[in-house]
Amino acid sequence: MAIRLVLLIFLPLLAACVTTGTTPRKPVSGFDPNQIAKSDIDRVAEAHQREVFASLKLLAEKLYRRNPREWRKGGQASLEAAVARIFETNHEWKFAELENKRGTDVIHLAFREDYAGDRVMAFIVGLGGMVQTAFNDKTELFLLDDLDPQALFNAARNVEIAVWKLSNAAAPGGELYLLSNEGGGPVKNLSFEREFGKVIGSLDLLSKIIADKTNRIVAKVFQNVATAIFLPVKF
């Protein structure tokens, strides 16, 4: 009873202190008092969220290596600086050079013919903002937080659509806007595909876990990615 009373008093204060809109909080080594205000589902969701953003960070690094002109277009001193700007600053997934757009609106910028900015940044920032919206912009979850399994499922489908665009969207001259997987040569490089698969798998699994736990039904709409439009992740 005493523990329950403490939670009722301090849980709103803990939740209010959480930064929203950026990357998930890294686990604290040793005793973390915040853990007393979390359910098992909260901890599972946070673990999946960290995995998703770890994959997005790795994908940003890989895309910049394949497309070094992009971080230079963004005015960064190095690849590492370009990645750090995306994942290590408190920007709530909005940047002036990305027209202060967020989520899937930014992904479209990466493949717009007249866009002269950093396409890798637009692509990754768009994905990061979209995923974070599906997590209700929370960087840490507590008992009072409620994730929507439909939003997470839709986010997974949006990643699939974004991956198709990455692999197929080309300029009028026929060259891809961004290079990723290498299909030519004696050995195929499909490392991008595998990493995106991890992101999609994490979002799908978490959607199923939350749906099963809360007895909610997820409308499983699958589209042809070549003609699909991005699905909403906020309701």
Domain membership of residue 235 (yes or no) is: no
State which residues form the domain around 210.
42-214
| Highest-confidence segment of 25-34, 60-69, 225-234 | 60-69
Specify if 15 maps to a domain. no
Residues 138 and 132: their CA atoms lie apart, in Å, by: 7
Q: How far apart are CA 90 and CA 235, in angstroms?
A: 25
Residue 12 lies in a domain: no
Residue 108 domain flag = yes
Q: Which of 7-11, 48-52, 202-206, 227-231 has the lowest mean pLDDT?
A: 7-11
106 inside domain: yes
d(CA 148, CA 218): 9
Query: Using an 8 Å Cβ cutoff, are 61 and 177 in contact?
Result: no
Tally of domains in the chain: 1
Give a yes or no: residue 24 inside a domain.
no
Q: What is the mean pLDDT of the chain?
A: 87
Please report whether residue 221 resides in a domain.
no
HSE toward the beta carbon, residue 24, CA cutoff 13 A: 27
Q: What is the pTM of this model?
A: 0.88
Distance (Å, rounded) from C-alpha 159 to C-alpha 157?
Answer: 5
Express each pLDDT in 69-125 by its tens digit.
999 998 999 999 999 999 998 899 999 999 999 999 999 999 999 999 999 999 999
How far is Cα of residue 54 from the mean position of the Cα atoms in its chain? 9
